Structure 1
């Protein structure tokens, strides 16, 4: 995991130490610092040191480190995470900070264009500073322009430590959170604190306002040289390309000398990852499948079938509210900018268990956003068959409604005072409009894919996984979300992603001989966390305590009468929505107390 943080401008006594104390859950001692007249930089190393950094009793040369802080001749390079260089003609190479410094001297900031992986980086040359986020968004970086300084950290909490920075809720972000279950785009839940988007860096010359710059673009056009080929030849060519690229992505960061585990849900995506990791790893991998006990839906039979077919050591993990309630606030503290998806708790608890025996974990994240998941189907139907007379923003409104979170609940749930500060078109629909209006990608499915990758992927899926696994010191691998897989997904013909209701066709064709037929042919169900039932039983007391009428009236954000209806399950909606909305409210209220009400 590791934590990177700091600020530009003249040194401030004790501030780096306060940032480190706030972000201590992100790393471990010792605190590394680099302080000059132009800025102060801090780094906490990850709790578990990767095996390739262990020096067998020898002192590691500063020129050999891959993360941390490196400085020479007025140039400073700092990196948290893992970065590889794809510009080399051979296999991608894990870059050292010294190598980055050499390349920066020759190429300037364009050196970052050839980096892939999971990282944030800070580069400084005298009074010029760059804060960089990786191309897909596996790591997060936050910043604020404050008193002619650039404040930055791996979490917003780190930015808030700086003396005088206000802790103020952004109403538009509240509407976004209740509609998406996360805050999309560059904004955060806090006024004045921004998130660096994937493939971007923030540049500041000390004393001047910062500038946000995109350093890498996705190529979203299909490959034209295949257009005249027969479909059978095209399909065969793409299957070969997919298998080779995916194999390379799995191999990147796959250790050969330490245990490796996979989150195996029983779905197609994690099954494909399991099969490929098992094929490449020299030993036997361990797989973990989670369930919620008798009476609740699960996918254990499919996970077990994959484990037996591939040959893994398989473990089933039971998760009940009584198992995690004591760690609920800890989990939300690790999430930081709130995420209202209940899958966060299974991610957190499963990571806790896996971390007892492993440092490296693979998962199947990326299959749905990149390769035509079934949640695209309602939007495609709306696009093609939604009628003739439709409002200008019908696609944006349909997409927001398709999340089935709280978009249609906002006017009933938020107080009039909060609603007066929210413009639905400006604060919600306008986030999506550029994706639907762009000329490239031209295919509608690819437009949805771009939204799912750049909004949902970069601001929900990847940060959620990184924070929940990193909370327990795990190094996570998402090969289906590798930069090369994302690029390929836009070049693929549409019929190899989603066709006639069948999803992720390319994955099925490439792995149909390595996985059980039941897994290849079954429709996606997803991990359904039974919060609808938990809030009627084990979570009922907690929810009523956190969402008390007195507290809600004092804060003036949510209507107490509407929250009570949700707590009593006394609304007009069908089953299934109560639990999700209550989880979002519970998560937000705990986050608000942790971040807005007090310093931790």
Structure 2
């Protein structure tokens, strides 16, 4: 998978090489495209032969007078290019000169676009569409040039690796991590490092200012209640057409592909389309945690048998991955709030032996009303409004992470700096208060797409696969499919408590009935049991009192209670909380303290 690095200000080969060196793990056949001007330096690392993918560009970088353009990933023009068609960079520059950053709103695909405008003294960086490709930016004081710069990179480690960069934890981010299991929005765990929101462009100016532009306001196309909202045959046919097109635009040319197949509805739909359209080998992969733990292997097998794929089952257990936890955290650049990330990392290592491109079913829940929306919908229909912010509080509680006890977990030094209304609830308030989205279900889906999808699911998938030189393909996060989801009546997605109703109707003839009809259970990682067995020693060692006291981030007494499992209230969640706390502490050592023990590829 390719990667982007760059910065504003005068050229510096030392800085550029320092940033590039941290991203060489993303592929096996390095090549580089350098574009430099007096105002900005950009580099694209071509780390694999990605021309096999149907979405392609005629070139990847171009300098035209005072404008420099570089593209990382795969692009098509919205509505004007056929699948597999090319996008001319010279045309993009001409559109930019005429319309400014707004010209990038017409693009779709899995890409980052960077435009350095020397006349305007600005560097524009865009994260196209749903944000399948991620990009970060940060403010940096360059000791060698005695100047401040903006740094830009596909992964935060390329920013924090800059000479003399001081990585400092942002206190509010710790509370956000405990509540969400990730840091939502443009903030990250670190001060002065930001994640570009999906479907946005950021303008980074020489004076140190930055400005965001929304390029993908998909909410504006919401169904307005007019027309025949009960014509389900139309929406079923449209859903199938758009999903088929999304898969077609991502199919590699002339080589096998892999599919992460959980046996759930979303990955099974993607597998059905890939198997139907692709004329090369299709390999499917399912994970499990051993015979002692529940799994969904029978559903994945049933789908694979129905579609005729080459199916593989991969077992993951702590004895395998515990020695690689620090390595994975280095790749992720974040604590592993969602424990399914680690099994996916292990699965990617196995899949990379067979293929270079891997489809997944991510996106079905955010776009089509997955079951996690039901508790919030029930409260919306039957609940009684209470104090201000009750919806925000209820949503945070529905994550079932550590929202209710963040104040007990945090060290007083950190806790005293946290305002829950400012640092937690205010992240969600704009979604619930926006008047442009009328349906409450669509408000929830907008949260899931713009926050969970863009800042947890897609970054996790991208970096876990990039660590093994794989390119992820997520057709259910396609821009046209997101628009279609908002254009259809909400009852096509959630109907009498039946989630993803339109998807089930669209593919009920293609998949086994048990896959269509069974309720979603999700991939349950048995952390609760692991911390009573295989991972107990690692947790106690990592969260030893001396480490907790030295860091002054968490309350030592509360951590000791968690490690003894002395929690009567919510006892079933202690495994998740221990996982989040343990991986946070490992992240702190690897990223903030720069302790790279057990990390290969680190600096």
CA contact (8 A) 1:284 1:311 kept: no
| Distance in 2 separating the partners of 1:52 and 1:437 | 40
2:40 alignment counterpart: 39
Q: Does 1:166 align with 2:166?
A: yes
The Cα of 1:449 is off from its aligned counterpart by 0.5
Q: Does 1:414 align with 2:406?
A: no
| Distance in 1 separating the partners of 2:88 and 2:216 | 21
Q: What pairs with 1:436-447 in structure 2 (closer than 5 Å)?
A: 436-447=432-443
C-alpha distance 64-497 of structure 1, shift in aligned 2 (>3 A): closer
Residue number among 116, 123, 128 corresponding to 1:129 in the alignment: 123
Q: Does 1:51 align with 2:52?
A: yes
2:74 alignment counterpart: 82
Query: Secondary structure of the equivalent of 2:451?
Result: helix
| Distance in 1 separating the partners of 2:203 and 2:521 | 43
How many residue pairs get matched? 587
Q: Does 1:111 align with 2:111?
A: no
| Distance in 1 separating the partners of 2:207 and 2:421 | 35
CA displacement 1:118-175 (0-9 Å, x = unmatched): 1112111323321111121112111123454222111222222334443211110100
2:143 alignment counterpart: none
1:144 alignment counterpart: 138
1:557 alignment counterpart: 553
CA displacement 1:396-447 (0-9 Å, x = unmatched): 0000000010111212111111101100000000000000011121111111
| Distance in 2 separating the partners of 1:333 and 1:82 | 26
Deviates more, 1:278-287 or 1:295-304: 278-287
Q: Does 1:194 align with 2:197?
A: no
1:458 alignment counterpart: 454
Query: Secondary structure of the equivalent of 2:218?
Result: coil
| Distance in 1 separating the partners of 2:274 and 2:572 | 35
The Cα of 1:2 is off from its aligned counterpart by 1.8
Query: Secondary structure of the equivalent of 1:368?
Result: helix
1:277 alignment counterpart: 274
Q: Does 1:293 align with 2:295?
A: no
CA contact (8 A) 1:120 1:134 kept: yes
CA contact (8 A) 1:182 1:460 kept: yes
| Distance in 1 separating the partners of 2:515 and 2:53 | 35
TM-score when normalising by structure 2: 0.93
1:59 alignment counterpart: none
| Distance in 2 separating the partners of 1:509 and 1:527 | 23
The Cα of 1:591 is off from its aligned counterpart by 1.1
Deviates more, 1:198-207 or 1:249-258: 198-207
| Distance in 1 separating the partners of 2:275 and 2:456 | 28
2:65 alignment counterpart: 73
RMSD: 2.1
The Cα of 1:461 is off from its aligned counterpart by 0.7
Q: Which runs of 4+ in 1 moved over 6 A?
A: none
Q: Does 1:377 align with 2:370?
A: no
| Distance in 1 separating the partners of 2:223 and 2:113 | 33
| Distance in 1 separating the partners of 2:201 and 2:220 | 21
| Distance in 2 separating the partners of 1:446 and 1:52 | 32
The Cα of 1:284 is off from its aligned counterpart by 4.1
CA contact (8 A) 2:24 2:47 kept: no
Deviates more, 1:515-524 or 1:248-257: 248-257
2:469 alignment counterpart: 473
CA displacement 1:438-487 (0-9 Å, x = unmatched): 11211111110110110000000111111111111111111111111111
1:217 alignment counterpart: 217
Q: Does 1:229 align with 2:228?
A: yes
The Cα of 1:91 is off from its aligned counterpart by 3.9
CA contact (8 A) 1:261 1:286 kept: yes
Q: What pairs with 1:479-498 in structure 2 (closer than 5 Å)?
A: 479-498=475-494
Q: Does 1:573 align with 2:565?
A: no
Deviates more, 1:396-405 or 1:317-326: 317-326
TM-score when normalising by structure 1: 0.93
| Distance in 1 separating the partners of 2:13 and 2:51 | 33
CA contact (8 A) 2:39 2:116 kept: no
Gaps of 5+ in 1: 56-62
Gaps of 5+ in 2: 141-146, 596-602
Q: Does 1:509 align with 2:509?
A: no
Residue number among 569, 575, 584 corresponding to 2:580 in the alignment: 584
Residue number among 112, 115, 125 corresponding to 1:120 in the alignment: 112
Query: Secondary structure of the equivalent of 1:124?
Result: strand
| Distance in 2 separating the partners of 1:324 and 1:30 | 31
The Cα of 1:537 is off from its aligned counterpart by 1.3
| Distance in 2 separating the partners of 1:162 and 1:308 | 50
